[in-house]
């Protein structure tokens, strides 16, 4: 059923606002995907707080241009699934890449990062990066490593003294 002009304008306003607030966007193809696989895709995206919706390319192009993003290189002939994250830059790319391993009909087409259109290769490279939480954990671990090493060195001396005292006690007993 065709949408009215007011519905199209409302969709454009919604998409423009979502793109304005987005940290990263992934455009995915889905032609030939079963309804079950699409529902699974959407469920996994919702679980990670990623907004997902199918849009016509013409509407997507207008919304991107309204946000100052050059969309002239987008020339897809079919609607695309848009996955938008307002929290993390890597989450949509990582999820689409992981899902595409199981569902061969879903794949990355392109993405938007820092108000620039990026190609499939860059999106897949972004998918390989750790999430913000993983990066934070790595930084904390790196900061903590010298302190842990120092504590282990100090504990080693105490252990050595205890081993000597235990050996003396065992010899006298």
| Helices 57-66 and 5-21, packing angle to 10 deg | 50
- Asked if the model's pLDDT at residue 148 lies above 70, the reply is yes
> What are the residues whose beta carbons fall under 8 Å from the beta carbon of 53, sequence distance 6 or more?
81, 82
- Asked if the model's pLDDT at residue 159 lies above 70, the reply is yes
**Dihedral sign, Cα of residue 63, residue 64, residue 70, residue 73:** negative
The domain limits of the chain are: 5-129, 130-173
- Name the architecture of domain 5-129: 2-Layer Sandwich (3.30)
Q: What is the pTM (predicted TM-score) of this model?
A: 0.73
> What are the residues whose beta carbons fall under 8 Å from the beta carbon of 16, sequence distance 6 or more?
63, 66, 67
Neighbouring C-beta atoms of residue 33, cutoff 10 Å = 18
Top pLDDT among 122 and 8 is at 122
- Asked if the model's pLDDT at residue 169 lies above 70, the reply is yes
DSSP for residue 2: P
- Asked if the model's pLDDT at residue 1 lies above 70, the reply is no
pLDDT level of residue 153 (50, 70, 90 thresholds): confident
**Residue pair 73/111 in contact by the 8 Å Cβ criterion:** no
């Amino acid at each position: 059923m065709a949408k009215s002009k007011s519905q199209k304008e409302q969709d454009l306003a919604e998409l423009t606002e979502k793109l304005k607030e987005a940290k990263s966007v992934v455009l995915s193809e889905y032609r030939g995907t079963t309804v079950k696989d699409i529902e699974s895709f959407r469920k996994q995206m919702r679980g990670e707080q990623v907004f997902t919706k199918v849009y016509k390319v013409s509407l997507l192009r207008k919304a991107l241009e309204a946000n100052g993003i050059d969309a002239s290189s987008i020339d897809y002939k079919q609607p695309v699934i848009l996955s938008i994250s307002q929290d993390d830059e890597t989450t949509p790319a990582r999820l689409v890449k992981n899902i595409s391993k199981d569902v061969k009909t879903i794949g990355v087409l392109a993405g938007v990062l820092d108000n620039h259109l990026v190609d499939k290769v860059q999106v897949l490279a972004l998918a390989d990066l750790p999430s913000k939480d993983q990066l934070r954990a790595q930084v904390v671990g790196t900061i903590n490593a010298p302190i842990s090493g120092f504590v282990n060195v100090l504990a080693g001396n105490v252990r050595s003294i205890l081993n000597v005292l235990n050996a003396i006690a065992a010899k006298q007993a």
